[in-house]
Amino acid sequence: MKFTLKDKPTVFIIFGGTGDLAWRKLVPALYNLYIDKWMPKEFAVIGNGRSKLSDDDFRETLKEGVDQFSRRGKVDNEVWNNFSKHLYFQSADIKNVSTYKDLGKRIRAFKKEWKGDVNVIFYLAVAPRFFTTIAENIAAQKLATDVAHSRIVIEKPFGHDLESARELNKLLCGMFDESQIYRIDHYLGKETVQNIMTFRFANAIMEPVWNRNYIDHVQISVSEQLGVGGRGGYYDEAGALRDMVQNHLLQLLCLVAMEPPVTFDADEVRNRKVDVLHAMRRFHAEDLSHMVVRGQYGPGWIEGDEVPGYRQEDGVNPESNTETFAALKFFIDNWRWQGVPFYVRTGKRMHQSASLVTIQFKDVPHYVFPNASNENWQQNRLVMSIQPEMSIRLQVQAKRPGLDMTINPVDMVFDYKGTYDTDTPEAYETLLLDTMVGDQTLFMRGDQVEAAWELLMPVLNAWESKQSLNFPNYSADSWGPEIAEALIARDGFHWFTLPVDKIKK
């Protein structure tokens, strides 16, 4: 479907044009799409911000961002000059009606110049408190009445809880059609995440074993070495559950657990994902003590550098009760997954940065080899490594070469680096292209967002209403609090990590 863009002139408006997201992600992504010839012949990117910048100042600032953050490294000056002619700055306050009248004029001028249908994308790369103002003004000025060609892109977090997410959905759906609303979850744009569906549904050998008959349990682990950095103010209001689990981790879980869609149509895929969220077992107050764990990092050392504890980070309340680590055990009450635990964990300032989806298969029904041969026995395991290594490993047992019978686990590996020469596009390249093309498959639908909030509300409420007495409960450079080990050890399992020597960045 993506090829259709070539003939579709596009005006791409970024609210928060001088912000971090535009600088690090959005403009480098547009630049790379331009190099790879995905951008239409006629396009304009208008950055909105309050700074007093000329178009040239704006272009110069963005060039620094692209130099630093483009996957291709520093810009090629000639290419940049051609690309940057399409960039414009609008110095104007998002609270003023005149800002939107001016945008209307600019859009009309481009439409007149380019003729035919013009896509208009409104990208809200701003703090959530501005979403309403911007959306209302766009609607009031009738800038998005052409449903087929105008779209509004909303960054996460989408709501702070179920109630606020419902309100935001209601507000947006009152002004725009659902087909115009693109709720971003950047994990869905990652190549390795997109590949989960391909791996499952393009290989006939997967489906027969992808169920409770063969799978023992599933682990989804996203650990980060980074702390909260300069985002303490935002993070202290959010915490790991809102920041990572409600969106990225539950989306990964849905991709692992969904039923095969009939087609690759956006709504068909999203229906199957939302089915998973609906089938997930609800948490009751009495379950929480053995189904969920929270943690907060204390000070420590990471790779030789001393790092502060969470409560000492800028913008964070020194007595904060916010979790920087969360681990949960989920069940999906449906035919395919009944009784199979899904363990999910995420945390900041952990020992390793690694995102892994691990499928642990059941053991062989009968052991036929001599007892001495099984020192390293391990059940089959499929590890989908999302990042930094991009790979899929199927761990199987093999006979170690030699005259005695020794069995040990070996990996059958598909790794992107070794398989493909081409550079992998950044998640935002995929997602921005999809907004321009009008493909919502990798975006969250309103009901999906609400279902995810609904599932987590009992945990959020319990954690908010009860101060943790033992925060901080893990030190930087660890694997999180000890009780997170207990959460999974109680069932006879342990958290799986990739040995450092296996990680190829």
Annotated binding-site ranges for NADP(+): 50, 93-94, 156
Total site size for ligand BG6, rule CB under 6 A: 3
CB of 243 to ligand BG6, least distance (A): 5
The smaller minimum CB distance to ligand BG6, of residues 224 and 313, is found at 224
CB of 482 to ligand BG6, least distance (A): 24
Q: How far apart are CA 413 and CA 396, in angstroms?
A: 11
323 interacts with ligand BG6 by CB under 6 A: no
389 interacts with ligand BG6 by CB under 6 A: no
* 296 contacts: CB under 8 Å, gap ≥ 6: 310, 311, 320, 322, 323, 324, 325, 468, 471, 472, 473, 474
* Number of CB atoms found within 10 A of residue 361's CB: 17
Q: Write each residue from 147 to 166 as x if it is in contact with ligand BG6 (CB under 6 A), else as -, in one continuous string.
A: ---------x----------
The smaller minimum CB distance to ligand BG6, of residues 53 and 125, is found at 125
CB of 368 to ligand BG6, least distance (A): 43
Q: How far apart are CA 99 and CA 69, in angstroms?
A: 30
Q: How far apart are CA 316 and CA 320, in angstroms?
A: 7
224 interacts with ligand BG6 by CB under 6 A: yes
Tell me 136's DSSP state: H
H-type helices in 333-426, by residue range? 416-419
CB of 219 to ligand BG6, least distance (A): 17
Q: How far apart are CA 468 and CA 479, in angstroms?
A: 19
Q: Among residues 149, 160, 217, 248, which one is catalytic?
A: 248
The residue number with the shortest CB distance to ligand BG6 is 243
Taking phi over 0 as left and psi of -120 to 50 as alpha, with beta for the rest, 278 belongs to: alpha
Binders of ligand BG6 among residues 69 to 128 (CB under 6 A) are: none
The smaller minimum CB distance to ligand BG6, of residues 243 and 434, is found at 243
243 interacts with ligand BG6 by CB under 6 A: yes
434 interacts with ligand BG6 by CB under 6 A: no
Strand pairing class (342-347; 215-223) = parallel
CB of 348 to ligand BG6, least distance (A): 7
Measured in whole angstroms, the distance separating CA 165 from the mean position of its chain's CA atoms is 18
Is 290 in the active site? no
The smaller minimum CB distance to ligand BG6, of residues 243 and 323, is found at 243
Query: What are the backbone angles phi and psi of residue 144, rounded to the nearest 5°?
Result: -130, 35
Catalytic positions, please? 248
Q: Binding residues for ligand BG6, per CB under 6 A?
A: 156, 224, 243
